[in-house]
């Protein structure tokens, strides 16, 4: 039994024959090669999870759904971080990988679970080439309790000192908010929820998130 999939988790087990008839040829071909799908933030019926299929080209992205019972393997962004495979990556000189090496000790010291997402996370988890020299480093930080904005600004300073561009999302119990936005001065911030983006004052306050 796998844990309940969360946004950015990678799932194996979706097959070409599971896709609807209108699915593009490239998506079927990708699944035929046992490419994992990425959990996306969208509503799903009971027993299903919303997923996205990545193709070889940047513009090849296809939204679909997967039965929970079809999941054969799940890899979370947090397990990618714990594995530390980037330290043996053949292209450690790339900015995203150098940035990851720079920030990993700082994130480990926060006492919060963090993970690698985006193209680099996909590559580290699957072994399938997805990142390129210009790739940003995409990270997620599980934030079950309120983190004040001064704390967010201090973490931004750490990220800004890294040798590559870093985009970090704070994952609250109700959705995700960009660290840089929470560190800013705007009274309201954009919270990505299962039912779409919402502007809220406090990303940790359930009463502010529309049903």
Q: Please say if the pLDDT value at position 182 is more than 70.
A: yes
Question: Looking at 9, 70, 108, 138, which residue is catalytic?
Answer: 138
pLDDT tens digits along 73-126: 999 999 999 999 888 888 888 999 999 999 999 999 999 999 999 999 999 999
**Does the annotation mark 136 as catalytic?**
yes
pLDDT digits (tens, 9 = 90+) for 197-206: 999 999 999 7
Rounded Cα distance between 198 and 209, Å, is 7
Q: Which of 70, 136, 167, 202 is catalytic?
A: 136
Q: Are 27 and 55 in contact (CB under 8 A)?
A: yes
pLDDT at position 56, please?
79
Other beta carbons within 10 angstroms of residue 177's beta carbon come to 23
Q: What is the pLDDT of residue 208?
A: 63
As a whole number of Å, the end-to-end CA separation of the chain is 29
**pLDDT one-digit tens code per residue, 11-54:** 999 999 999 999 999 999 989 878 899 999 999 999 999 999 99
**Helical axes 95-108 vs 149-160, angle rounded to 10°:** 140
Q: CA of 139: how far to CAs of 36, 72, 159, in Å?
A: 19, 25, 11
DSSP 2: P
Q: How confident is the model at residue 211 (pLDDT cuts 50, 70, 90)?
A: low
């Amino acid at each position: 039994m796998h844990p309940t999939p969360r946004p950015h988790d990678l799932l194996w087990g979706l097959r070409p024959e599971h896709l609807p008839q209108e699915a593009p040829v490239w998506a079927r071909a990708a699944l035929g090669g046992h490419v994992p799908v990425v959990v996306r933030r969208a509503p799903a019926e009971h027993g299903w999870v919303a997923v996205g299929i990545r193709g070889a080209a940047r513009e090849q992205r296809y939204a679909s759904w997967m039965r929970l019972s079809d999941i054969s393997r799940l890899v979370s962004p947090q397990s990618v971080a714990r594995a530390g495979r980037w330290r043996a990556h053949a292209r450690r000189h790339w900015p995203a990988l150098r940035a990851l090496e720079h920030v990993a000790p700082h994130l480990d010291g926060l006492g919060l679970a963090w993970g690698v997402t985006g193209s680099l996370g996909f590559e580290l988890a699957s072994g399938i080439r997805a990142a390129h020299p210009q790739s940003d480093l995409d990270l997620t930080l599980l934030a079950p309790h309120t983190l004040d904005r001064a704390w967010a600004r201090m973490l931004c300073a750490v990220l800004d000192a890294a040798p590559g561009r870093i985009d970090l999302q704070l994952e609250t119990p109700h959705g995700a908010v960009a660290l840089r936005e929470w560190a800013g001065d705007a009274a309201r911030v954009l919270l990505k929820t299962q039912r779409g983006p919402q502007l809220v004052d406090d990303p940790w306050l359930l009463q502010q998130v529309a049903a």
